[in-house]
Amino acid sequence: MILGLDVSTNCTGITVLSDKGELLYCEAVRTHKEKSYMKKLDMLDDKFVELLQRVHIDHIFIEEPVQRFAGGKSSAKTIALLNQFNGAVRWLAYDIYGVEPEFIPVRSARKLCGIKPKKGEDSKKKALEWVEANCDSFKYDLTHAGNPKPG
């Protein structure tokens, strides 16, 4: 089984795929209301332990953390905090599953799935279209404006 993690201090996406790529589990753990860094990690620890009782994880992939500034998006402080949290979640996953997580750049992950957004296209929208076409069991809610709800 493959565990995929999209780590953020506000919401962490957790997905489990079978070795054949079938979607077995998908959840967003919303930690945005919790102010304590350690309690956010406790929430993820609880979820990881719960999953451990249901499935055996052979591989873990984590979206590579942000490594550079993107105009007007994140400050150095935000990037540093996210990288610290990402590292802590990586260690937590290793400690629980005994599998060393591998970082994967988001562009590489999209490319492995054959998702190739053209210049100027919304890459998240293209990825969501791919998921809708390939993962029948994946469900999500929309905002009043028709956009996917966070998580």
pLDDT per residue as tens digits for the range 64-76: 876 555 555 667 7
User: Looking at per-residue confidence, does 75 or 83 come out higher?
Assistant: 83
pTM, rounded to two decimals: 0.80
Least confident of 22-26, 55-59, 132-136: 132-136
Dihedral of the alpha carbons of 20, 25, 26, 32, in degrees to the nearest 10: -140
At residue 74, the pLDDT reads 63
Mean pLDDT of the chain: 84
The predicted model gives 27-36 an average pLDDT of: 89
Looking at this protein, which amino acid is placed at residue 130?
A: W
Q: Which residues contact 93 (CB under 8 A, 6 or more apart)?
A: 3, 5, 48, 60, 62, 99, 101
Q: What percent of the chain has pLDDT over 70?
A: 93
Quickly list DSSP for 128-140: HHHHHHH-TT---
